Amino acid sequence: MSTGTRGSLVPALESGAMSRIAFPKAFRWGCATAAYQIEGGVHEGGRGESIWDRFSHTQGKIRTGETGDIACDSYHRFPDDVALLREMGCNSYRFSISWPRIQPDGKGRPNREGIAYYERLVDALLAAGIRPLPTLYHWDLPQALEDRGGWPARDTAHRFAEYAQQIVRSLGDRVRDWMIFNEPGIFTFFGYGIGIHAPGIANRQAMLRATHVVNLAQGEAFRAMREESGEFRIGSAFSFQAMEPASDSSVDADAAERMHAWTNEWFLRPTLRGAYPENAFEAGVPEALDIREGDLERIQVPLDLIGVNLYSRGLVRAASNDPWGWGARVLGMGGSTGPKTDFGWEVWPDSLHDLLLRLSADYDAPAFEITENGCSYADAPGADGKIADLRRIAFFRGYLSALHRAIEAGVDVRGYHAWTLLDNFEWAEGTGQRFGLAFTDFTSRDRTLKQSGHWFAHVIAQNGFDPDSEADQA
Ligand code: FCB
């Protein structure tokens, strides 16, 4: 190494300038939650029944036998949630609005008490200097609408657009940024395809129809919201995984491309480009979708923000007889090679980097926000009452570094939301999987920041971290 090089490198390393991970100015830092997972209060404020109430009260559907009747009791304790966000210095909070609080029967005028709850929450956030980022649908369809056909029924798209308009009319004087859906791919596949989530239907035809109706609903909702104000910034949060072939063979490479289409583009491509991904079209799929004249034009809308929910990667092998007609199989826990969280999900930070680069290149560099990213580890309070969840800190360090590399490579990412603020009702797992930056005691409902929550606060305060510094390890 020449003296000249040493002269320029060493001081930089010593001051940390070479290795520091710094996020863009005005970057948003926040946490995400979902109504059914935290609110409880299911019989309060005139709320109607949702498909998740019905599902969780059905014997055998939730691994722990629990329901979301109380969950984290955020319906009453939301000030505690806002206090946690403040303690960490978050400037964004992604929460969801429970449709059956607003329209208990899935139609008609908004329920005043339901609206009032979200006004109180939004006002508390604004008073704390935190941007509210509501998601209109995080999986709790009014049961009355399921009884009329649910997401496979086209009428649900109109009902959803009506609900969306009511929400923005009610809260639009104080909320500017919105997410329409949470993970259309997951709730249609789990809810109507394999039936392990509400409403518990396992039918490929119903699932395919549901995907198309959800796409229509998103387009209609976007337009209804846009009509209310040109100032709104409207996005949707999609579930993504970077798909990688499990071997060097070209058949696995093709299979990975098909899984990319089904998993990452089934909702995104019609929305941004007005077309379904072609390589996902197997015999019978277009008919099953029931695409009618004008549908694709109604679906296509210029979302202002693409919400990225990403946890892991997908390692893909070709498969000739999979029941879905994908010609591919994503290897589960046994096949993947990285470390696993307590849920068995592979920790693979590069997935976030790779996926963002690909979407940015394929879709003309849209604006992204990371709307969910996190991990489940069961760490509980030690004798000193502290929760030393060091694996969660390692997870966030890895994914945030990968995110930073994507931003350095030119991807336009405006914010990051950790999943999740506090341990909650994790759908079919009940409270058995803990994803929180805060520990929830499900007897007292008290919340305590874990070590990862304190670490996150430190990152937010510095708008980044130093990967080489001991102080930034935990
Ligand atoms: C996502 C969901 C979220 C939570 C996390 C762990 O798929 O959007 O509600 O369940 O997974």
Q: Mean pLDDT, to the nearest integer, of 69-75?
A: 98
Q: If you average pLDDT over every residue of the chain, what do you get?
A: 94
- What residue ranges line ligand 1, CB within 6 angstroms? 34, 37, 182-183, 186, 239, 309, 372, 419, 426-427, 435
Q: Note the helical H segments in 23-154.
A: 35-38, 51-56, 74-88, 99-102, 112-127, 143-147
Q: In this model, does residue 109 exceed pLDDT 50?
A: yes
> Helices in 132-265 by DSSP H: which ranges?
143-147, 155-171, 184-188, 204-228, 250-260
Note the pLDDT of residue 325. Answer: 85
Tell me the CA–centroid distance for residue 191 and ligand 1, in Å: 14
Considering the domain boundaries, does residue 2 fall inside one?
no
Cβ atoms 272, 201 nearer than 8 A: no
Taking 80 as the threshold, does the pLDDT of residue 79 lie above it?
A: yes
Q: What's the CA gap between 67 and 441, in Å, rounded?
A: 16
- Summarised one tens digit per residue, pLDDT across range 174-185 is 999 999 999 999
Distance 238 CA to ligand 1 centre (A): 11
- Give the mean model confidence (pLDDT) for residues 310-326: 92
Cβ 228 vs Cβ 164: under 8 Å: no
Residue 95, in any domain of the structure: yes
Residue 350 has pLDDT above 60, yes or no: yes
Between the CA of residue 234 and those of 52, 158, 359, what are the distances in Å? 26, 18, 18
Sequence-distant (≥ 6) Cβ neighbours of residue 395 within 8 angstroms: 341, 347, 374, 375
- What pLDDT, in 10s, does the model give residues 159-173? 999 999 999 999 999
Phi-psi sector, 448: left (phi>0), alpha (psi -120 to 50), beta: beta
Confidence (pLDDT) at 152: 98
State the distance from the centre of ligand 1 to the C-alpha of 417, rounded, in angstroms: 12
Q: How far is CA 79 from CA 38, 97, 447, in A?
A: 13, 16, 12
Q: Tens digit of pLDDT for each residue in 125-159?
A: 999 999 999 999 999 999 999 999 999 999 999 99
Report yes or no on 12 lying in a domain. no
pLDDT for position 375? 98
Is residue 10 included in any domain, yes or no? no
Mutation test residue for ligand 1: of 56, 372, 395, 435, the one with most atoms within 8 Å of CB = 372
What atom in ligand 1 is closest to the CA of residue 376?
6
The arithmetic mean of pLDDT across residues 76-91, rounded, is 98
Pocket test for ligand 1, best of 56, 183, 347 (most atoms within 8 A of CB): 183
Task: Say if residues 465 and 451 touch (Cβ distance below 8 Å).
Answer: no
Cα angle, residue 374 at apex, residues 371 and 375 outer, rounded to 5°: 155
Mean local confidence (pLDDT), 268-287: 91
Range of the domain at 426: 21-473
What gap in Å lies between CA 53 and CA 46, rounded to an integer? Answer: 15
Tell the residue nearest (CA) to atom 10 of ligand 1: 426
For 66, counting Cβ atoms within 10 Å of its Cβ (0-12 exposed, 13-18 middle, 19+ buried), the class is middle
> What is the position in ligand 1's atom list of the atom closest to the CA of 237?
8
Catalogue the active-site residues: 183, 372
Residue 424 CA to residue 81 CA, distance in Å, equals 12
**Mutate-to-test residue for ligand 1 from 419, 424, 434, highest number of ligand atoms within 8 A of CB:** 419
Parallel, antiparallel or unpaired: strands 447-449 and 438-440: antiparallel
Q: Say what the pLDDT of residue 372 is.
A: 99
Cα angle, residue 415 at apex, residues 414 and 421 outer, rounded to 5°: 170
Centre of ligand 1 to C-alpha 310, Å, is 9
Region 277-306: mean pLDDT is 93
Residue 401 lies in a domain: yes
Given pLDDT bands bounded at 50, 70 and 90, which one contains residue 429? very high
Q: What is the pLDDT of residue 16?
A: 43
CB 238 within 8 A of CB 306: yes
Tell whether the model's pLDDT for residue 12 goes beyond 70.
Answer: no
Distance 182 CA to ligand 1 centre (A): 9
- Is residue 294 scored above 80 in pLDDT? yes
Q: Region 188-194: what's the mean pLDDT?
A: 98
| Residue 14 included in any domain | no
The pLDDT assigned to 3 comes to 33
Please give the number of the atom of ligand 1 that sits closest to the Cα of 426: 10
- Given a cut of 70, whether residue 6 has pLDDT beyond it is no
13 in any annotated domain: no
- Residue 229: what pLDDT? 98
Ligand 1 centre from 35 Cα, in Å?
12
Nearest atom (ligand 1) to Cα of 427: 10
| Global confidence as pTM | 0.95
Domain count, the chain: 1
pLDDT at 80: 98
Exposed / middle / buried, residue 453 (Cβ in 10 Å: 0-12, 13-18, 19+): buried
Q: Give me the percent of the chain exceeding a pLDDT of 70.
A: 95
- 3 located within any domain: no
Confidence check: pLDDT of 1 > 90: no
Residue whose Cα lies nearest atom 9 of ligand 1: it is: 34
Which domain CATH number covers 235?
A: 3.20.20.80
Confidence of residue 471 (pLDDT cuts 50, 70, 90): low
